[in-house]
Amino acid sequence: AQSVTQPDIHITVSEGASLELRCNYSYGATPYLFWYVQSPGQGLQLLLKYFSGDTLVQGIKGFEAEFKRSQSSFNLRKPSVHWSDAAEYFCAVGSGVNNNDMRFGAGTRLTVKP
């Protein structure tokens, strides 16, 4: 079965600084990859997803992610972080068959310093 690793449990960045959240996946075929954001007390909101084609994917709120097959990675980036970006971020991988095979990483909590 596929799996997802988010190596960083907690990251702190200053407002205005750039951000990169790491995600590594394990899956034998071409994966379906997702990034979700969860604000405190809220459900998960989809930021972006990758199925095929261009390996650089643009999402909402100024986020982007790059699929690198050779590194089995799908890192999330933002050039300038805003205080409202403080949240927990989840990377997820789908099996290519159906959504019930989707696996989530443990999450990375982002703190933004003023």
Which residues make up the interface to other proteins (CB under 8 A)?
4, 9, 32, 36, 41-46, 49, 51, 90, 92, 94-107
Nearest to other proteins of 43, 114 (CB atom): 43
Q: Least distance from C-beta 26 to other proteins, angstroms?
A: 14
Q: Least distance from C-beta 17 to other proteins, angstroms?
A: 26
Q: What is the spatial distance between Cα 13 and Cα 95, in angstroms, rounded to a whole number?
A: 33
Q: Least distance from C-beta 42 to other proteins, angstroms?
A: 6
Q: Least distance from C-beta 62 to other proteins, angstroms?
A: 19
Core vs surface per residue 79-111: b (16+ CB within 10 A) or e: eebeeebbbbbbbbbbbeeeeeeebebebbebe
Nearest to other proteins of 17, 60 (CB atom): 60
Nearest to other proteins of 18, 30 (CB atom): 30
Q: What is the spatial distance between Cα 75 and Cα 24, in angstroms, rounded to a whole number?
A: 8
Nearest to other proteins of 69, 113 (CB atom): 69
Q: What is the spatial distance between Cα 36 and Cα 53, in angstroms, rounded to a whole number?
A: 20
Find the radius of gyration of the CA atoms of the chain.
13
Tokens (6 digits) for 68: 């690198």
